[in-house]
Structures are given as C-alpha cells and as structure tokens.
Chain A
Amino acid sequence: MMKTDFRREPLYIAILAVLLIVGFFLPSWLRFLLQTALAGGLVALGVALQMRAGLVNFGQGLYYALGGYAVGMLAAQAGITDIFILLIAAVLVSTVAGIVLGLLLSRYREIFYAMLSLAVSMILYGLLVKAAWLGSTDGFNIPPVSYLGWTPDRAVRPDIYYVTTAVLTVIACLATARYLTSGAGMLCEAVAENEIRLEYLGASPRKVAFIVIVVASALSGLGGGLLAMSTGHVDPLMTNWTTSGGFVFVALLAGRGSTIAPVIGFFLLELVRTYALDLAPNAWQMILGLVMLAVILLLPEGLWSLIERRRKA
C-alpha cells in the first residue's frame, strides 16, 4: 500500500519550486511543454486525489474543459482579459459543477462512479460539438490576457505566462498538501479501505467523497484555465474520454505518494511523447505505449515508488 504520510510534502513542493525555477531557463519549446504539462498535471493530481478514495474518474476532462471554456468565453466573447478574473472564473465554474455533480456522484463507487463521471463528461462533449457558435469541434481562439490592466509585450508574454503557471501550480500543490493532512483528506484512504468501519467511527464516507470530488474539480478547472491561456485555443477534445483517460493514466503512472508526482509524471510523459513523435512520426504511439507498459510492469506503484523505496531503504 502507498504511504499515507504527507509530512514531507513541503519539502517535495520546495523541490518542485526549484525545478520550476530551473525550468524558466529551458529552451522555449521545452518550457512551453513544461508549462502545458503543469496545467495538465493539476488535472492528473485531481484524478490521483480521487483515486486515494478509491474513486476512478474517467471524466475529469469535464472540469478541465469547463475551466478552459470559462476562460475562453469570457476572454473571446465577453472581452474580459484580466487573468485573475479569468482564472477565478475558471475555478469557480468548475467548482460549482463539481459541487452539483458531487452531490450525485458521491453516492457511487467503483465502476459506477467511473462510468457515471465518463457519461457526464461526454454529455458536455456532445453539447460543445453541437454548439456551432462555439466553433463546434474546431473550438475557438483566446486573445492574449492582461495582468491587472497591464498587457505584456509579445516578447515577454511567454515568460509571464510561464511564471504565472508555475507559481499557481506550486500554490495549488501546497493547498492540496494542506488538504491531504486535514481530516477530510486523511479519511480518503479509509473510504477506499472500509466504508462501513468508517461509518461506525462516526465519519461520513459520502462527505469525504464529496469533498475530494470538489477539490479535484477546482484543481482541474484551474488546470483547464491555465492551458487555455497557454495555447490560446480551446476545443471540445478537452472533455473527450480520451483526454480523461490520459489523466487517469498519468495518475497511475506517477503514483499517488505525493502531490508533485502527477505534475512531474505528466511532464515526463509529454516529454516521451514529443521525442517519440520526433523520432518515429509514423510509430510514435507504439513507443509511447511501450514506455507505458514498461512503467506498469516494472513500477506497479508508479514512478513515485522509486523515491518511496529509497526512503524506506
């Protein structure tokens, strides 16, 4: 079983922060990869949190898309370009969706939870595809954002985007670590282990599940908003089951031992993907698949188990 000790989290997050500062000096394409991976990593973190409670969400893309579309629609259609308003809106929209859906979904476990969450995300996908005014499958573009009334120059825009994304990712990881050391966070594993016993102890498994769903939705909404800003484009694929499946995979691949694991795992996977594309444009999926298989076979507890193992030894 994965360690449940999160007292070392501040140290890990500090390491992440250092890595992100080093990341600032990467070549621009690689830094951009890191930046989008951070956004996706937050969603994978949301999936990993739910996994701690035994809930496998195959529709986390729903909140990711809601965050992205909230930013996109406010910026492109309502003309609001201030990044702080946009990101708050992204988190707000997805959190509200998480609260509403959480009321329903927190009653379900295992395959029922996975399928229901998948179904809900595909309903949003269907709606977006039908919405010609939102560009249907083509999606739409998002204008550059401003920072409290300041619109950065084209030359420094990527730097500012990166810094914003990195800072928000670290803050989100800190907040998540704080949540994991709280009662509601620590009880997640008890929900996965034995709900009946948990109830006898006087805690409500439904409430624990509800809270983790809401926390995950907020994280994913932030991730979606950050991605929309970075790429300047949103489309319904964000809420397609293939995207959600990718997040589940990263959560498994990275391991659940730390909040920074899914974030780093997402980046490593994207790195493999982009080099596979470069090396074998016709067979990159195969390379990616083989890497995934190798990780599953050799590290069934995920990449993070490498670090856990070292600590135990």
Chain B
Amino acid sequence: MKLRTLTLGLAGAAVAAGGAMAQDGDPIELGIPVFLSGAASGPFGLPQQNGATVLIEALNAGEVPAPYDQVGINGRQVEATYVDEAADPVQEYRNLVERDEVDAVVGYTSSGNCKAVAPLAEELQQLTVLVDCGTPQIFESVVTDPTYLFRTGPTGTIDSVGAVRYLMDTGVDMSRVAGINQNYAWGQDAWADFTGSLEALETGSDITTEQFPQVFAGQYGAEVSALLTSGANAIHTSFWGGDLEAFILQAAPRGLFQRSAVVMTTGEAAMQRLPDEIPEGAIIGARGPYSYFAPDTELANWFRETYEAEYGNPPSYPAWKMAQAILGLKAAWEKADSDDPAEIAAAFENLEFETPAGTVRMAIGNGHQAIQGIAYGTYALDDEGNPTVENVISYNAECVNPPADQTAAEWIEAGFPGADCE
C-alpha cells in the first residue's frame, strides 16, 4: 500500500533525524556551503573547498603557524560537511542546522544566498560566518541587530573604491571612463559604487559607455566594439570566472588593453588560468589583500605553500577568504574558551584577528562585519614566466570602508567622509 509506505517513510525519517547531540570533546562540526556545481563552482567553490580542506587538516594536526598553533579549534578536532550552495539555500541551511546539527556554518559566495540565510541565522540562533558574498546590505538592511551572524570577508564596496583610487594614483587620464559589467546584482552594484566613487573623488569623468551584457553570456564581441569606439581611457569590469576569461580572450587580441587602462576587480582569479593571455599592464585586483597582494608573513607563506603542495597551484583569493573565515571562527572560539554559541558570538564581536591576508578587524555592522584594505597592481610575468603583479598600491581598511555609523551608499554619496588613506 503506497500511502502506508509513505507514512512509514516519513516516520522513519523523523526517527533518523533525531540523532545524538554533539557533546564536549566530540569534533566540532562545520557546515560549509560552497558552489559545487554551476558556473561559480570552478572559480569559487573549488578553491574554497580546497582551502577549507587543507586548513582543517593542518588545524587538526596542529601544524598551522602561530597564533593558530593550538590543535583544532580550542583543542577540539574539526570536521567539515560540504554542501552545494547551488541548491535551495534556505532549505539546505536548515538541513545543516536542524538535521546535521552542525556547530557553525561557514560559507556562501552568492549575495542572494547570503541575504536569504542571514535572517535565518538569527532566527535559529546559529553561529554563521559568511565568507565571500559582497553585498553591503547584509548588516545595513537585512540584519541590523546581529548576534550570531558574522562576515569575515570585506564587502564589495572596497573593490570599486580601491579601483578608482588606484586609477587616480597611477595617473591614468580619467576624463573618459567606461564600464562592462554583468547584468545582475553583483555587476550593477559594482558599477554603481564605481561611478559613485568617481563622483566622490571629483574626477570629472565623462562616462562614455556602460555595457551590461547578460551574466554567463560568454560572447562579448559587440560590447568590446562599443568599448573600443567609446574612446574611454579607463575601463572598469567586475566580471568573474568564465565570463572574465572570455572577456580577456576576446578583448586582448583586439587591443582593448593597449588602448585603455582596464581594471579587473577580480582579475587575480584568472592569473593562473590565463598567464599568457592577460596583457601585461592590465590592472588586477583580488577583492582584498589576498594571494599576490598578501603580506609577507609566516602565516601567508605557510598557507600558500601548503595549498600549492596539495593542489599543484597557488590558492586564488576565494581560498584565502575561506581560510580567513575559519581562522576568524577559531580565534573567536578560543577567545571565548567555551562551546556556548552565545559566548563565542560575543567574543567574535569587534574581534581583531590575524589571517594569511593580514590583520582583520570586525569593525562595522555592530562589530559583525570585517573591514580590510585592498590592493591593486598591474599584471606582469616575472623572469621565469610566472604570473605576478607589480606597481602594487595598497589602501588601508579605513580608506576604502565606510565608518561604522554609515552605510556604504551614504558614505560614497557624501564623498568618503572620514576616509583615512595615509
């Protein structure tokens, strides 16, 4: 009888779900949602999963350099459950929290997913660390009074503000500016911040063209033509992943990079993939001080070398951001020296912690949102033909992030009041 089978099945699932609660001394379970399928899995999901895997392995073995040399997290071993972010984010978040009963959720790259799970983290009172999503709205409008929700990655604002500052500081003629961004939230926000920053810094720029091709379009012939004929001196793009690579492959042979200074805010992720195709001199960003822009510290070098030894290529910025999130959680957990989520959350608030990418401060969003500086540089191949960056200029966190009492949009609109760029 079909219906009886169904009822029995449901009842069985109900029994199976009421598993044992985690006890002290058991491993700490981290739920890690990253993209395991779809267009974002290659450029983001894979390096994030790899970064988490090597870091957790090293943490459990106690091999991470100081100040993270304590085994695991607060002496407890760490276990990770990876889940595909491409599935329904709200349902899978609930599954992690209520079915798998993880101790903390660390992940998310898509801003849409971050927005969807942010209120849930507070509702379910679940310690949650957002890794990579860029929208500043999370703590500005979605969750204004956070307790359990944190984001250790800086917002997307710093990419655009830093890009404008870099163009100005390197003496690029800013009279004619153009942009090409994907027509979805990420591209629209990046371009809005970029043009807002142009106005805030009074560059007097004339926007010659703004191209918004469909996300994952893959073909940019017409857009490149429009950019070439627009006569722009500087071009901004927030393309990422396959779209960025397609854009580079299609725009470089047509001389776009010779004619204009092209800023690629996520360009770092393409460096290992297209070392010979990216024209030297193209302006590259990594959405923060990651990867080639990371400081020369023991922790940074350890992370880079360990990752490369495991996977054969150096970590791209999403891997650094994942490491940053896990280390932030570890720092908070050990500062609290308790397994009570409320105490860990309290210790996380306004925390200052070391990461492979330098010191991170949870300074805005009521102490739940990290600020970090950003760096840009120009692409070059070193003597051995390895991709690298030169002419690097770093901007400190206070220069490119809004103060705690202002939203990113207000801050840009007001002309960066209180920005400290020394």
Residues of A contacting B137 in the complex (Cβ-Cβ under 8 angstroms):
138
**Minimum CB–CB distance for A14 against chain B, Å:** 12
Contact status of A137 and B185, CB under 8 A, knowing A26-B14, A233-B90: yes
Q: In the docked arrangement, what's the CA distance between A65 and B150, Å?
A: 30
- What's the Cα separation between A264 and B5 when bound, in Å? 13
Give the contact stretch, choosing among A28-36, A81-89, A164-172, A202-210. Answer: A28-36
Interface residues of B in 90-142 (CB under 8 A from A): 90-92, 94-95, 97-100, 110-112, 115-116, 118-120, 123, 135, 137, 142
Is B65 an interface residue, CB under 8 A from the partner?
no
Chain A residues positioned under 8 Å from B98 (CB to CB) = 27-29, 32
Complex interface: stretch among B81-89, B236-244, B303-311, B352-360: B81-89
Taking the nearest CB of chain B, how far is it from the CB of A28, in angstroms? 5
Chain B CB within 8 A of A22 CB: yes
Interface size range of chain A in the complex: 35 or more
Residue A129 is within 8 A (CB to CB) of chain B in the complex: yes
Q: With an 8 A cutoff between CB atoms, is B17 at the interface? A: yes
Which stretch, A176-184, A187-195, A215-223, A277-285, touches the partner chain B? A277-285
The B-contacting residues of A in range 16-63, CB under 8 angstroms, are 19, 22-23, 25-30, 32-33, 36
Interface status of B222 (Cβ within 8 A of chain A):
no
A139 and B10 within 8 A (CB): no
Q: Is the CB of A29 within 8 A of B184?
A: no
Q: Which residue of B lies closest to A12 (CB)?
A: B3
Instruction: Tell me if A136 and B115 are in contact (CB < 8 A).
Output: no
Chain B residue numbers with a CB within 8 Å of A30 are 10, 13-14, 17, 99
Q: Are B99 and A27 interface neighbours, CB within 8 A?
A: yes
Residues 271-292 of A at the B interface (beta carbon under 8 Å): 271, 273-274, 277-278, 281-282, 284-285
Known: A138-B112, A231-B116, A235-B112. A27 touches B14 (CB 8 A): yes
Q: Is A152 an interface residue (CB 8 A)?
A: no
Query: Do B111 and A29 touch across chains, with their CB atoms under 8 A apart?
Result: no
Q: Min CB distance, A64 to chain B, in Å?
A: 14
Q: In the complex, what residues of B have CB within 8 A of residue A306's CB?
A: 2
B94 in contact with A307 (CB, 8 Å): no
* Chain B CB within 8 A of A245 CB: no
A277 and B83 in contact (CB under 8 A), knowing A26-B14, A307-B2? yes
Which residues in A have their C-beta under 8 angstroms from that of B17? 27, 29-30
**Known interface pairs A32-B94, A273-B87; A141-B14 also in contact (CB < 8 Å):** no
A residues within 8 A CB of B84?
A: 277, 281-282, 284
Q: Is the CB of A310 within 8 A of B94?
A: no
Other-chain contact of B87, A32, A232, A277 (Cβ < 8 Å): A277
**Contact B87–A33 (Cβ < 8 Å):** no
CB distance from B198 to the nearest CB of A (A): 18
Q: Does the CB pair B192–A22 fall under 8 Å?
A: no
CA separation between A28 and B101, bound complex, in Å? 12
Q: Which residues of chain A come closer than 8 Å to B119, judged between CB atoms?
A: 141, 232
Which A residues, 131 to 182, have Cβ-Cβ distances below 8 Å to chain B? 132, 135-141, 154, 157
Contacts of A137 in B (CB 8 A): 112, 184-186, 215
Which residues does chain A contribute within 8 Å of B92, judged by CB atoms? Answer: 274, 277
A196 is an interface residue with CB less than 8 A from chain B: no
Check: A130 CB closer than 8 A to any chain B CB.
yes
Asked if A15 is at the interface of the complex by the 8 Å CB criterion, the answer is yes
Q: Do A29 and B94 touch (CB < 8 A)?
A: yes
Q: Which of B37, B94, B115 contacts A28 (CB 8 A)?
A: B94
Q: Is B417 an interface residue (CB 8 A)?
A: no
B interface list, Cβ under 8 A from A: 1-3, 6-7, 10, 13-14, 17-18, 36-37, 82-84, 87-88, 90-92, 94-95, 97-100, 110-112, 115-116, 118-120, 123, 135, 137, 142, 183-186, 188-189, 192, 215
In the complex, 5 of the A-B residue pairs with CB atoms within 8 angstroms, ordered by the A residue number, are A22-B10, A26-B13, A135-B112, A137-B215, A273-B87
